[in-house]
Amino acid sequence: MRTVKIGLLGVGVVGSAVAKAIIDDRGTTERSGVKLELARAAVRDLSKQRAVDLSPELLTADPHDVVSNPDVDVVVELMGGENPAFELITAALSSGKHVVSANKEVLAKRGDELLATATQSGAQLIYEASVGGGIPILNTISNELLANRIESIRAIINGTTNYILTRMSGEGAAYSDVLADAQRLGYAEADPTADVDGFDALYKIAILGQLAFGTSAPVDGIHREGIGRIDARDFRYAEELGFTIKLIAAAQRTEAGLLLRVHPSLVPLDVPMASVNGALNMVEVEGDLVGPLWLQGAGAGPEPTASAVLGDVLNVARTASNGASQSSIDPLPLAPMVGHHCQYYLRLTAADQPGVLAQVATVLGDADISIRSVIQMDTDETAGQADLVIMTHSALEANMQEAVSRLRSLDVVVELDNLIRVESY
Ligand code: NAP
Ligand code: HSE
């Protein structure tokens, strides 16, 4: 039986669940042959009430007390954010301590530097919980799927936005009420704009892209859109057309290289992703040998995330070699979003008068975009306006962007309310 002493950086939503699972044990020691002990825990505010009872001697307001503490074997970083997490993880790794982290932001932005420090010092840096909450996706890619050439990853990978979209779609719930519920349930980031504006999903797809395709993408070079423009009408219209709306993050091998993208998408109602609801996540991975795989589970929340964090801690304690590691495959170059091809859903508020459709169709036709269907939805007779919903055949993103700017300049188009890409299956 080995005893491993844990130093926690952060005792918030996830840190409290990790501390509680260590204290309660629930047979983990017997199953794993490793006894976990909490040695030190850093927080910002020592007087704050916490979801776990910790003796005051364990707590410190100085995180360096954790990373440079000789009693600590493994540092578990659950603070979030780029700084001071980057500096603290670097200090821990440099002194030979293994680090387990759930912090996708620091890993997406500075993962290369951190992994280089780990390689230099011989310490392990592993971070299963940073992507997909409780779903063991990083280990699956870096170990179980190692014999495969990964072709594509497509995922619902942010629990907060999936929870919000699910409730907007099912109950027509108001965006702000639902976000408050997601925060209360412990799904949202400390600053929830990271969720709703798509940054969290972007960090996660950057980590997956690095692991599966060897490509380290600068996070500001990845196409990102949040869910802010989606409203109840889009769900209604999408459903009439046979789709629902999900925030999709994708990393796909294309002829031009690796295309990374995060944006709301229309997803056909009859594919597995369409029924992934609430804070659940789903990652669809396609390998050349295994074909498509779908991994689904709790993508956010204290206990599922603690499951992934403690799995990493036990792996490090038992072997100091398992877990996600830096990819050594030849990196694919990054492909630009303007080369993406897909069908599009366009929602316009347009003047309800003769000739409008012809003008809109001409702009699309001139940009080499073929229309699949046009439906006139809600009509506001007083204002003399109507919602036009256009579905296109597959078109080039660059052409669609050009058409969008020309549509916006038409007098008969009052507002181009939404442009949503359609996932193909
Ligand atoms: P959280 O509730 O905001 O907790 C952050 C903790 O870190 C708090 O205990 C805070 O102290 C402490 N902290 C922050 N800055 C500090 C500093 N400079 N010095 C000392 N302590 C500091 O966040 P969380 O939801 O647990 O998330 C933690 C990490 O896990 C983030 O990287 C997040 O992205 C990731 N993650 C979260 C989930 C989830 O479902 N929530 C799932 C997967 C991954 P105080 O308590 O005193 O403020
Ligand atoms: N805020 C994140 C989410 C937590 O909603 O998915 C899990 O990484």
Query: 339: Cβ below 6 Å to ligand 1?
Result: no
Mutate to test the pocket of ligand 1, among 20, 38, 43, 77 (most ligand atoms within 8 A of CB): 43
Annotation: CATH topology of 340-422: Alpha-Beta Plaits (3.30.70)
Report the atom number in ligand 2 closest to the C-alpha of 157. Answer: 6
Give the start-to-end residue ranges of the domains of the chain.
2-127, 137-298, 340-422
Contact partners, residue 259, CB within 8 Å, separation at least 6: 250, 251, 252, 334, 335, 336, 337, 339, 340
pLDDT for 169-223, tens place per residue?
Answer: 988 887 778 999 999 999 999 999 999 999 999 999 999 999 999 999 999 999 9
Query: Any bridge partners for residue 390, and if so which?
Result: 346, 374
Task: Kindly state the tokens that stand for 11.
Answer: 């005792």
- pLDDT given for residue 325 in this prediction: 52
Q: Find the residues whose C-beta lies inside 6 A of ligand 2.
A: 133, 158-160, 187-189, 195, 200, 299-300
Q: Catalytic pick from 97, 104, 204, 246?
A: 204
The pTM assigned to this predicted structure is: 0.94
pLDDT for 382-422, tens place per residue?
Answer: 889 999 999 999 999 999 999 999 999 999 999 999 999 99
- pLDDT given for residue 322 in this prediction: 42
Whether the link from the prior residue into 84 is cis, omega within 30° of 0, is: yes
Please, are residues 369 and 255 in contact by the beta-carbon 8 Å criterion?
no
- pLDDT given for residue 323 in this prediction: 46
Query: Any bridge partners for residue 224, and if so which?
Result: 262
User: How many of the other CB atoms lie within 10 Å of CB of 257?
Assistant: 17
- pLDDT given for residue 320 in this prediction: 57
The string over 140-162, giving b where at least 16 C-beta atoms fall within 10 Å of a residue's C-beta and e elsewhere, is bbbeebeebebebbbbbbbbbbb
Please, are residues 197 and 213 in contact by the beta-carbon 8 Å criterion?
no
Which residues in the chain land under pLDDT 70? 320-328
- pLDDT given for residue 416 in this prediction: 96
Annotation: CATH topology of 2-127: Rossmann fold (3.40.50)
Task: Kindly state the tokens that stand for 262.
Answer: 């995060």
Answer whether CATH 3.30.360.10 is correct for domain 137-298.
yes
